[in-house]
Chain A
Amino acid sequence: MLVIFGASGDLTRRKLFPALYALATRHMLPERFAVLGTARSPMSTDEFRKAMEEAVREHARVEFKQEVWDELVSATHYVPMEFEDDRAEDRVAEKLDELDKEHGTEGNRLYYLAVPPSAIATLVREIGERRATEGWARLIVEKPFGQDLASARRLNEEIRRHFDENEIFRIDHYLGKETVQNMLALRFANGIFEPLWSRQYVDHVQITVAESIGIEGRAAFYEQAGATRDVLQNHLLQLLALTAMEPPIDFDADAVRNEKSKVLRATEVDAVVRGQYGRGYVEGKDVPGYREEEGVDPESTTETFVAAKLRVDTWRWADTPFYIRTGKRLARRETTIAIQFKRVPQSLFTQSDGLRPNVLAIHVQPDEGVSLGIGAKVPGQGMTVRTVNMDFLYGGAFRTGLPEAYERLILDAMRGDPTLFTRADEIEEQWRIVDSIQARWSGQTPDFSNYEAGTWGPEAADELITREGRSWRRH
């Protein structure tokens, strides 16, 4: 039984139900399966079903088939509930018992907490106190998981009062993306890359999570979070961990997460800059500055951009900088991990001003795939050498649509496989890094806005990297 708390929200509509529908289309859902949605919104089961049908029709990546939907919708139910109302929680528990009998789900529960962070602790307590005695119980918790190290620790402690670590699935949907998982395949299924994957051959690493959109009506959340808590704390640091980790002894969840955790423990911030967008042009449209967005404080000092130089103090990566950046209203939407290799020790070719260092780029979105920039001779007389990009396009190589991250992650949670979920120690290390960034900014008043919408961030971000003789990748 999948129990979605916050079922009337945007996440359920845009991601969770379309993912469930795609799984149903591929016959990946268990035979004995039901969904119970619950939220504050007063709604009947029929109204909820209708809303979810509209959501699936609008957002599912696969074609709508009535017979698939009919099967899924017959197992879909809804109960309205105030989260702090014990009696309402009792009603949900009774409904779950009733649905167990109807659908044969035997007390197995997957709780999906798609609720605001402030509601998580209360909900976990209420769920924990009503755990069924038979069957398994698992908990998927959406980000943000806490707002700093102290609150994340408190939340971990509260959850562990009721659930074991192997029952807790802290979701970072980036880990469900095929291309992120392909990073593991690229590194550990190919003999040619791993020997080069170290300080000896890598000059530096750049990880970019760029968005061209603004805050999309999420001012209340974003004003509190900013780019650092919204993206750097989770997506960026998880991508860094996957890039820098040692080979695990096997693909067991704990073996993988142990290695990621070691990387995060070894990660320190050398330098960091922040920014906030002003007015500008994005994709041909005149867009307002952050402080002009609805619901945003006109004097807001929330950062919509952050770039940092990190170091990973391990034998493999000592003195190899990791430059990371994320921001809103940047020139394009792009998530890429780029490994820039060292230059050849001596240039033999005089006509090589078009030659750049080798870069292996893992494109997470939008062009899922891997590209390698290599020097090649231009056909013809002479010896003109220039960089050519060879792109392996993930979507073109395999004749099947790439599953959405949530499809993979919901299915993994149903199976009890937490490999692609974040463990408590990882979360806490990520917050330690973020706290160290916030501490640098404490007491300073930034001079915002400092970058135009539609550009690649503030000048300070360029200075962060150019002062060391490097530059951000050309996008």
Chain B
Amino acid sequence: MEAALSTAQQAEWTGRDVTIAEIERELAQLRSESMDLRTSMMTHLAWAPPEWQDASRETLAGLAELHPSRTILLFPQEGRRDALDADVAIECYSLPGLERHVCSEVIELRLHGSLANSPASVVLPLVLPDLPVFLRWRGHPAFGRPAFEQLVDVVDRLVVDSREWDDVPESYAELVPYFERVAISDIVWGRTLRWRRAIAGLWPGVRAATELHVRGPLPEAMLLRGWLASRLRREISLRHEAAEHVELLAIDGNEVVAREERTSASDLLSNELDRFSRDEVYERAMDAATA
């Protein structure tokens, strides 16, 4: 998808220690210079601690075509100074074979001091009316902390990637209670789709499965075991070997081959942005994974 788009033009504004009103004014000014029509499907929030900032920007680059949106990147900052710094941009991409552009609004907010603990009040004035709000939380969720709790309550869907966590499966148990507050997607769950399809293709041969062997990341292994156990309604034992990607998957000693290609990070996120309601199959898999 990234190859299909190239940045045709970009209008930018940067402000230090700014107010929301200034951001709104400058955004309107940039829009008046670069576009008169805007198409939007959602507001896309991304919470990215310093170590995740570059990755956040890269992932977003491939989203504009299928998900025209206003993107708000929230970068919490260390330090005591209470201030809001902003980079505002209208990014327009040319579409192959067409003269028109797709334009997206990207707002990067650096939350200094206490603002990092009250991000909802900063974000709410900037979300697009009448459209769903998705939050991509980079890194380990700050369960119970003000920033996480506030944002969970203002978004329609929370998207995490449990590969970014270092304490799976313990943290899965902390995530499960949030299913009642907000629809949740784990990108790891999306990564397992090609394997779940491959396993489902073996039905009914896997009906009596008892052991799953995964050579790959632990989160994928845990969710696949949870999924298989919840679908078959039986205990499934897991044999796990660590690897960067899922290299081998076997059920009761029989190797399973996934024919579909691996999906890019942007496409994985893009798929999650198409979902609105709760994903009950995922939730049941999580329940089983944490049982």
Contact = CB atoms under 8 A, between A and B. Distances in A.
Interface of A: 212, 280-286, 331-334, 336, 338, 353-354, 356, 359, 361, 366-368, 371, 373, 378-380, 384, 386-393, 395-397, 399, 454, 473-475
B129 A334 contact: yes
A280, A353, A367, A389, most chain B CB atoms within 10 A = A389
Contact of B121 (A282, A396, A474): A282
Contact of A391 (B38, B115, B132): B38
Interface in B7-28: 19-21, 24-25, 28
Contacts, number: 122
Given A391-B37, A395-B32, A474-B130, 5 more contacts: A283-B20, A384-B274, A386-B274, A393-B36, A474-B129
Contacts of B132: 354, 474
Contact of A388 (B33, B41, B126): B41
Given A284-B118, A333-B21, A389-B39, A396 B130 contact: no
Interface string B25-48: 100110111111111110000000
B131 A474 contact: yes
Nearest to A213: B21
A106 B237 CA distance: 98
Contacts of B41: 386-389
A281 B21 CA distance: 16
Contacts of B274: 354, 378, 384, 386
21 contacts: A281-B121, A284-B84, A284-B119, A284-B122, A332-B20, A333-B125, A366-B25, A366-B28, A367-B24, A371-B129, A379-B66, A386-B274, A388-B68, A389-B38, A389-B41, A389-B128, A391-B38, A393-B35, A395-B28, A454-B124, A475-B129
Interface residues of B, number: 42
B127 interface: yes
B37 A332 contact: no
B236 interface: no
Nearest to B65: A379
A353 to B, nearest CB: 4
A386 B276 CA distance: 10
B91 to A, nearest CB: 16
Contacts of B36: 392-393, 396-397
A75 B231 CA distance: 84
B288 interface: no
B131 A331 contact: no
Interface string B263-291: 00000000000101100000000000000
Report the 5 A-B pairs with minimum CB-CB distance, sorted nearest first.
A332-B125, A396-B36, A284-B115, A281-B121, A395-B32
A205 to B, nearest CB: 14
Contacts of A392: 36-37
A333 B23 CA distance: 13
Interface in B110-156: 111, 114-115, 118-122, 124-132
Contacts of B124: 331-332, 454, 475
Nearest to A452: B121
Contacts of B131: 373, 387, 389, 474
B277 A388 contact: no
Given A284-B111, A331-B124, A378-B274, A391 B129 contact: no
A341 to B, nearest CB: 13
A212 B21 CA distance: 10
A212 B122 CA distance: 11
Contact of A359 (B31, B68, B130, B276): B130
A384 to B, nearest CB: 6
Contacts of A399: 32
Contacts of A378: 66, 274
Contacts of A368: 28
Given A284-B84, A331-B124, A393 B129 contact: no
A388 B35 CA distance: 17
Contacts of B35: 393, 396
B95 to A, nearest CB: 12
A366 B32 contact: no
Given A389-B41, A393-B32, A212 B118 contact: no
A390 B40 CA distance: 7
Contacts of B33: 396
Nearest to B113: A284
A395 B31 contact: yes
Contacts of A395: 28-29, 31-32
A367 B28 CA distance: 7
Contacts of A361: 129-130
Contacts of B122: 283-284
A90 to B, nearest CB: 45
B121 A473 contact: no
A334 B24 CA distance: 11
A2 B119 CA distance: 47
Contacts of A359: 130
Contacts of B120: 281, 454
Nearest to B41: A388
A389 B31 CA distance: 16
A361 B128 CA distance: 12
A212 B129 contact: no
A283 B129 contact: no
Nearest to A373: B130
A391 B40 contact: yes
Contacts of A384: 274
A284 B66 contact: no
Contacts of A379: 66
